[in-house]
Amino acid sequence: MPEAINLLKEKLTTEHYNRLIALDNPKMHEFVADAIELCNPSSIFVCTDAPEDREYFRKLAIKNGEEIPLNIPSHTCHFDGFYDQARDKAQTKYLLPPGSELGESLNCIEKSVGVEEVRSYLKDSMVGREMLICYWCLGPTGSDFSIPCIQITDSPYVAHSESILYRPGYEQFKKIGSSPDFFRFLHSEGALANAVSQNIDKRRIYIDLEEDVVYSVNTQYGGNTIGLKKLALRLAIQKGSKEGWLAEHMFVMGVHGPAERVTYFAGAFPSACGKTSTSMLPAQTVVGDDIAYFRKKNRRIRSVNVEKGIFGIIRDVNPKNDPIIYDALTNPCEVIFSNVLIDKNKKPHWLGMGPELPTEGTNHSGKWHEGQIDANGNKITASHKNARYCLNIPDLSNRDPLLDDPDGVPVGGIIYGGRDSDTWVPVEQAFNWTEGIIIKGAALESETTSATLGKEGVRTFNLMSNLDFLSIPLGRYIQNNLDFAKDVDNPPLIFSVNYFLKDKDGKYLNGMADKKVWLLWAELCVHGDVAAVETPTGLIPKYEDLAKLFKEHLNTEYSQASYVRQFTIRIPANLAKLDRVEKIYREKVADTPHLLYETFEEVRKRLKAAQAKFGDYISPIDLITR
């Protein structure tokens, strides 16, 4: 420890040494000293909770060329490298010590090998640059949910993004004193060319679950570098498993029912499947759009938004379908755009925003014009399909008043959804908590999108929309969720939703605005205000209830023919889904709870009994209301 302090005195200015040493935490000091010695920066900036420190990051990002000022004050744009546009699943790995096992579904590397490799890439990576030492808090500060974090990076874009997305954590570190209980992140962009990471072949994101530390190098894309986001989610999932709480890839929102009643819902959707747009529905309030922690308090399940900002996919954000976000993106408030098209007037443009896009400008490929192709002959779109925006939730008109409540919000319902063209109905309530977790969550599939590297449009298994981020064996994760409702009064109801159901001609059966009706119906279910139609897989709405909601909230006449097309139970597709998913569990998940197989078989029997009675496709009109 004296060696670490001596190194800090030598490398830091008096001002920044005093900032660091004011936090009396030996483990943190040793982490900082090691990072300095390894990365060898030319200068070091220690961030406090002061607003001027955030402004320092913003100005430095512009000065270094990582962000470009746009036509609206406080708006900037960041470009990642052409081949650094999404989460790198292949090079995101867990560092496992000898004798440890997470299961074949999780990407791992032997710890000593991985540490040696990533540290070799980090060695002297900050020569000639400034190291930024930042303190943030996951969850509201001063709360049972709070997890303090330290992020070390040489990217002012990363620091600026985290200042928007997370609550300040410098004072939180003062509160924990010498406690070793915090998360650590070390990131370097590596060698740069035209202000973007150059050595993409050496891009690595390695996660040490024993030490609660993440290494990230040779990348700038937010999903690989913003440590407190999905990288911290992996650490939190393991921490929660040990301590009896849950960390989930879920939004949290307030759904506003009759008589000014607000019911809080959490929802899990894979990327680009409507998660943010659901949390931002008109006349509802948003707590968070991406990651939530759940704890049991006074025999109720409560949840917080881990973040205070949104790092969202900007594609198709337009004034008609996303008026609140669109308003924030086109008016003065702090926003970082990434990988959109910038025209000659410094105005951002993106796919699906409404107006016709310019035919030339600057984007992630550099100078761009309509018809431009990449080295493989593929068309380069004006804005990347996975282009993003980063903004503060408090800058949104629909922010929920309990956003920063240290006790979190009481959860009334949980929703699972994905891209499903032919199986699930638009909304369905599970019969109970167990079937909800297993049939709605653990059986979740979705078609892939541009948010991850690889081919689009492939149906993939995605356990509770959390598969990419799990840091514990899959079977244990399922069991943790099953057990979480124990000793809870009135557990949240669990629902599935599907916004992507198609007819035989490939046309969507749902309108984009319909999701509001599905959620308002679910809110009524939580309070027992509506009856429902029983299907082999759960409970669906009655036609008359939906017709009323469509008229009251969308001013739309909802026909019975639409109801039948949308809510027909597709027996063959549901049976095939059970078979596909069960095969995955039997072949790849050795510790699958036996209850999952029992539940699958119970639902399979119900489906086959209904098939024998009604045929392959069952109209909801023929089913029983209860």
CATH number of the domain that residue 508 is part of = 3.90.228.20
Tell me the backbone φ, ψ of residue 404, rounded to 5 degrees.
-110, 15
Backbone angle region of 371, left / alpha / beta, with phi > 0 → left and psi within -120 to 50 → alpha: left
Gap between the Cα atoms of 22 and 427, Å rounded: 53
**Three-state secondary structure call for residue 464:** helix
> Which residues are annotated as catalytic?
273
Say if residue 538 is in the same domain as residue 573: yes
The residue among 31, 472, 451 whose CA lies nearest residue 236 is 472
Residue 10 lies in a domain: yes
For the record, the structure tokens of 331 come out as: 């008016």
pLDDT digits (tens, 9 = 90+) for 323-347: 999 999 999 999 999 999 999 999 9
Say if residue 221 is in the same domain as residue 275: no
Say if residue 31 is in the same domain as residue 135: yes
The residue among 416, 140, 137, 414 whose CA lies nearest residue 253 is 414
Gap between the Cα atoms of 345 and 68, Å rounded: 12
> Which residue type occupies 32?
V
Q: Output DSSP code: residue 491.
A: P
Say if residue 117 is in the same domain as residue 226: yes
607 alpha-carbon distance from chain centroid: 33
Say if residue 295 is in the same domain as residue 177: no
* Sign, CA torsion 344/346/352/353: negative
State which residues of the chain have pLDDT below 50. Answer: 451
Q: Would you tell me how many other CB atoms lie within 10 Å of the CB of residue 148?
A: 25
Among 244, 270, 295, residue at a domain's last position: 244
CB-based burial, 552-578: b 16+ in 10 Å, e otherwise:
eebebebeeebbeebbbbbbebbbebb
pLDDT digits (tens, 9 = 90+) for 348-358: 999 999 889 99
Residues in the chain: 626
User: What's the pLDDT score for residue 71?
Assistant: 96
Gap between the Cα atoms of 390 and 493, Å rounded: 31
Among 190, 214, 244, residue at a domain's last position: 244
Domain carrying residue 15: 2-50+90-244
User: What's the pLDDT score for residue 448?
Assistant: 66
Whether 149 contacts 169, CB under 8 Å: yes
Residue 214 lies in a domain: yes
Beta bridge partners of 335: 75, 391
Cut 0.85: pTM above it: yes
Residue 372 lies in a domain: no
CB-facing half-sphere around the CA of 176: CA atoms within 13 A: 25
Q: Which residue has the tokens 């985290």?
A: 162
> Which residue type occupies 527?
H
For the record, the structure tokens of 337 come out as: 């755009």
Gap between the Cα atoms of 206 and 154, Å rounded: 17
Say if residue 186 is in the same domain as residue 269: no
Domain count, the chain: 2
User: What's the pLDDT score for residue 126?
Assistant: 97
Say if residue 120 is in the same domain as residue 180: yes
Beta bridge partners of 108: 94
User: What's the pLDDT score for residue 449?
Assistant: 54
Whether 554 contacts 513, CB under 8 Å: yes
Residue 413 lies in a domain: yes
CATH code (residue 42): 3.40.449.10
Whether 209 contacts 236, CB under 8 Å: no
User: What's the pLDDT score for residue 107?
Assistant: 87
Whether 494 contacts 429, CB under 8 Å: yes
Gap between the Cα atoms of 453 and 150, Å rounded: 28
Residue 337 lies in a domain: no
Q: Which residue has the tokens 């300040």?
A: 168
Say if residue 299 is in the same domain as residue 256: yes
User: What's the pLDDT score for residue 289?
Assistant: 93
User: Beta strand pairing status for 183-188 and 213-217?
Assistant: parallel
Whether 553 contacts 520, CB under 8 Å: yes
**Three-state secondary structure call for residue 143:** coil
Q: Would you tell me how many other CB atoms lie within 10 Å of the CB of residue 258?
A: 10
Gap between the Cα atoms of 568 and 39, Å rounded: 59
Q: Which residue has the tokens 């690889």?
A: 454
Tell me the backbone φ, ψ of residue 549, rounded to 5 degrees.
-65, -40
Residue 84 lies in a domain: no
**Three-state secondary structure call for residue 439:** helix
Please report, for residues 26, 266, 297, 404, the alpha-carbon distance to residue 408 in angstroms, rounded to integers and kept in the order given: 31, 12, 10, 8
User: What's the pLDDT score for residue 454?
Assistant: 54
> Which residue type occupies 219?
T
Gap between the Cα atoms of 284 and 583, Å rounded: 39
Backbone angle region of 10, left / alpha / beta, with phi > 0 → left and psi within -120 to 50 → alpha: alpha
Gap between the Cα atoms of 103 and 113, Å rounded: 19
Say if residue 458 is in the same domain as residue 447: yes
Say if residue 412 is in the same domain as residue 488: yes
Residue 550 lies in a domain: yes
Say if residue 234 is in the same domain as residue 276: no
User: Beta strand pairing status for 167-168 and 130-138?
Assistant: antiparallel
Residue 76 lies in a domain: no
